[in-house]
Amino acid sequence: MQPNNMYHAMRSLKIVEGCRRTHVYILHPNSNSTAGLGGSVGEKFFQHLHDHLRVNSIRTKSTRGFTNFLANNNDNSSIENLSILADAMTIYGLPQSDFIEPQIEPCLKFVNFVETLAENYVRIQSSDQLEKSGLYLEQCAIFKGLHDPKLFRRGLRCARQHSIDVHSKVVLSAWLRFDRREDELIGISAMDCCGRNMECPKTCLISGYNPESFDDPCDCRRITREDRPIDIDMRDEECSTSFSGEVDEDYYDMSFCVGDEEIRCRRFDIASLSQPFQAMLYGGFMESRREKINFTQNEISANAMKAAEEYSRTKKLNLFEPELVLELLVMANRFCCEQMKSACDEHLASLVIDMDIAMLLVEYGLEETAYLLVAACLQVFLRELPNSMRNPNVVRFFCSSEGREKLVLVGHASFLLYYFLSQFAMEEDMKSNTTVMLLERLGECASQTWEKQLAFHQLGCVMLERKEFKDAQKWFEAAVDAGHTYSLVGVARAKYKRGHTYHAYKMMNSLISDYTSVGWMYQERSLYCDGKDKMMDLMTTTELDPTLSYPYKFRAISMAEEQGPEAAVTEINRILRFKVSPDCLEIRAWFLISMSDYEGALRDVQAIVTLDPRYMMFHGKFPGDQLVKLLRDNVQQWNPADCWIQLHDRWSAVDDIGSLAVVHHMLSTDPRKSLWLFRQSLLLLRLNCHKAAMRCLRMARNHTSAEHERLVYEGWILYDTGNNEEAIVKAEESISMQRSFEAFFLKAYVLSEEIPDPESSLYVIELLEEALRCPSDGLRKGQALSNQASIYVDIDNLEEAADKYMTALEIKHTRAHQGLARVHHLRNQRKAAYDEMSKLIEKATFSASAYEKRSEYCDPDMAKEDLSMATKLDPLRTYPYRYRAAVLMDDHKEADAIAVLTNAIAFKPDLQLLHLRAAFHDSMGENASAVLDCEAALCLDPNHTDTLDLYEKVQARVKEQPPT
């Protein structure tokens, strides 16, 4: 592409808001009228939906039952809505299995994940300070495949903590800020500091390693336009051009002549600026013998020469206007005045506090290779994401090859920078030209093996999404050549899309033969076969990795085709009980609509738009929130009192998805949005939907008009992103303004995780007591009572604990049954404990944790049954695997015990599982395997005391062994 064309293309780029999720793109197989989604019937149907929603807003209805409502047959609009939904099913039918496929994950995945974790840990421990930041960045890339935001964030924090150069500090600090999405917090400036040195924009511009101050609060204050010392673009304002005052004329011994002006100088001072000046004024040149030197032809203004003379005496720039400092920077470059260049660079960098100034100065910085100035501009661009990438000049700056080459010259082009930018772009719009160009720059910056693997694999994923299958295959093959085995899945998929199904099947066959089998291998191979072979591969996939959603979706759709939608709902429920995702909810909602279960469908669609407000239903053509309106007209309408009753019932039944739907309904009618958004975030955290939970918390913070509430929500955001001390400060600030349940609860909750001694535990109990004295509803008070009881158990006050749990149960806090069972158990009342957990199971039929906990209070055979049910309901719970492995180990079935843990670690590399397997290996004398598992576990948590002790013991034993 020619430069002019490239520039034109860059100007036309536009990042589309939102990243489309996986949808079910399916046509009705037997309808000729639906050939192609653009067909006339389909278009008329969607036009019908749009017209209906435009004309018919949500109506206020009585709370009578839906059956009576239909029987009266008086509301024509509701009957029309039913007709529209029936038309939808007629036109599109049920989902078809041929039109879904699993996504290739755009991250590093390994066939030997434990070894990868262990190697990373060992290299970090043995590396010097210069290497640690890069190794922690690699750890971030490894953790990305685990989908655990806390692990990824910890890796980012460690990379920032150990960074030395300004460039790395700037990028990593901006990434940490972006990870919290502070751009969504109203009233927070991009250049605001969270209070810690690691994210302070001023601290980031200071080179060097300073671990002692990493978590210390910084003293930088917020800088606004009113605060800034000089406004560069306000040319009509007076700016200081005065110099430091008169100096005795006898001090000067020479002059520089610029045009008609004569600038008096001291020869020694000017010579001290650089070697060229030293040579000119004291060397063999004729200027060394002249008192007046003509400087007119050097393109240096008289004012700049005056400023240079003053700097040579005072070494200060603070009195000069920015334009003059820029001219001094040019002069410093031309005459190799390194000290003056550094001073100009630092001074100009301190002025960069917003996008306007950054855009004005970045070109100067690039032209004059001013490292700090470019770093300061870069910092603003990164901290202003995503808004900055809507500026075509910024897009061109980052995306073009010319922009990267300029950054290389000034020392600011790095894999780290483009890794951050490409991750942001992929979240915004995976198919955009911006994403492609940033990934291309990422590949150009890649030097280490893992960097090449990641860049090439992600390029392959993006090209596959763009349906550029030939290019996708090329990039996936490049990633494979770099050593990324998982990219073979991408190669196979690209070949399949190009019509080479048999080649794709053979490739996956070879992969399964060559490596230890994991779930994604069989999942991919299932795409390239049919019938029983396909179903067998999908069954094997679920056995090896029950967390992969595609097999459940395929089986559900197949069951709908063969057995009806009821069987399909049962199958898709298997994964929704432990892993909630919009695509699985969409399939279930589709089936429920076909069964005329509009209440169930409404519940699921409300949950979908809570997880992703921009989710598109009906083959990605109709907004989910509008479908909510359409379905709501066909179910019983609730007033606020009904909503509270429904929420209490669902909360008591431990129905988190149902509770989420009720809260969504309350949000549409209750003006106190911040309260319900906060409740929504708590439910989402329970469902392990961390990203959506954080979005709700940010919205709650933005919607509230009360300062004390805003501080509480900010405190929860800080806590959930690992900033516990700041969270406590926010809670205390809120309490000082107004005593509230949530402020006391926040402070108590955070402190309860950090203080183990009995005295501190009593303080937490007091805080919760203060919370209970404040106004709140039963749902939250039940939680506070349960937390109080838990702390009483920890300090062996079982009487108080039992009392608090009973009080919580009286207000329908069902989960208190589990705590009360623990109290019975500690009193040696196992039967009572078992019965208590049975009560919980009666109310929460599909609670895996209830079955797991009840297993502790019964005989071994019944425990096995309960744990089997717990694993069936939630295969991600690790206790059942550890229990089964321990039983096998006690029976001297060591190989079987190791196999149980190994199978679980393959899809959930959990700290406790790795530690237990390491202990088993140690007891069997397999030191090498024990060391490997310890190192992998310590990669996940370097401070895990039990694993550290075991690791030290095994290493000592290895050293004692005589060499073979």
Higher pLDDT, 726 or 249: 726
Across 659-667, average pLDDT: 92
> For position 787, what pLDDT does the model report?
94
CA 376/CA 346 separation, integer angstroms: 9
> For position 239, what pLDDT does the model report?
41
CA 170/CA 375 separation, integer angstroms: 7
Higher pLDDT, 38 or 619: 619
Residues 6+ apart with CB under 8 A from 758: 795
Higher pLDDT, 779 or 195: 779
Among 49-58, 114-123, 571-580, 584-593, the least confident range: 49-58
Q: Is the pLDDT of residue 593 over 50?
A: yes
Mean pLDDT: which of 49-63, 80-94, 224-238, 724-738 is highest? Answer: 724-738
> For position 915, what pLDDT does the model report?
98
Q: What is the pTM of this model?
A: 0.86
Among 90-99, 124-133, 299-308, 875-884, the least confident range: 90-99
Q: Is the pLDDT of residue 620 over 80?
A: no
Q: Is the pLDDT of residue 13 over 50?
A: no
> For position 259, what pLDDT does the model report?
85
CA 536/CA 677 separation, integer angstroms: 43
- pLDDT band with cut points at 50, 70 and 90 for residue 690: very high
* Percent of the chain whose predicted confidence (pLDDT) is above 70: 85
CA 774/CA 784 separation, integer angstroms: 12
Question: pLDDT (tens digit, 9 = 90+) per residue, 534-543?
Answer: 999 999 999 9
Q: Is the pLDDT of residue 5 over 50?
A: no
Q: Is 39 exposed, middle or buried (0-12, 13-18, 19+ CB in 10 A)?
A: middle
Higher pLDDT, 227 or 461: 461
Among 210-224, 425-439, 492-506, the least confident range: 210-224
Q: Is the pLDDT of residue 245 over 60?
A: no
Higher pLDDT, 247 or 236: 247
DSSP per position, 393-426: HHHHHHHSHHHHHHHHHHT---HHHHHHHHHHHH
Phi-psi region of 467 (alpha: psi -120 to 50; beta: other; left: phi over 0): left
Q: Is the pLDDT of residue 266 over 70?
A: yes
Higher pLDDT, 662 or 184: 662
- pLDDT band with cut points at 50, 70 and 90 for residue 236: very low
Q: Is 251 exposed, middle or buried (0-12, 13-18, 19+ CB in 10 A)?
A: exposed
Cβ–Cβ < 8 Å for 684, 610? yes
- pLDDT band with cut points at 50, 70 and 90 for residue 87: low
- pLDDT band with cut points at 50, 70 and 90 for residue 302: confident
> For position 66, what pLDDT does the model report?
31
Across 142-148, average pLDDT: 92
> For position 684, what pLDDT does the model report?
94
CA 859/CA 830 separation, integer angstroms: 10
Beta bridge partners of 623: 616
Q: Is the pLDDT of residue 221 over 80?
A: no
Q: Is the pLDDT of residue 4 over 60?
A: no
The two tokens of residue 317 are 């720039």
CA 947/CA 910 separation, integer angstroms: 13
Across 821-841, average pLDDT: 95
Among 294-308, 457-471, 650-664, 712-726, the least confident range: 294-308
* Percent of the chain whose predicted confidence (pLDDT) is above 90: 63
> For position 64, what pLDDT does the model report?
33
- pLDDT band with cut points at 50, 70 and 90 for residue 86: low
SS3 955: helix
Mean of the per-residue pLDDT values for the chain?
85
Cβ–Cβ < 8 Å for 418, 446? no
Question: pLDDT (tens digit, 9 = 90+) per residue, 870-896?
Answer: 999 999 999 999 999 999 999 999 999
Among 18-27, 331-340, 582-591, the least confident range: 18-27
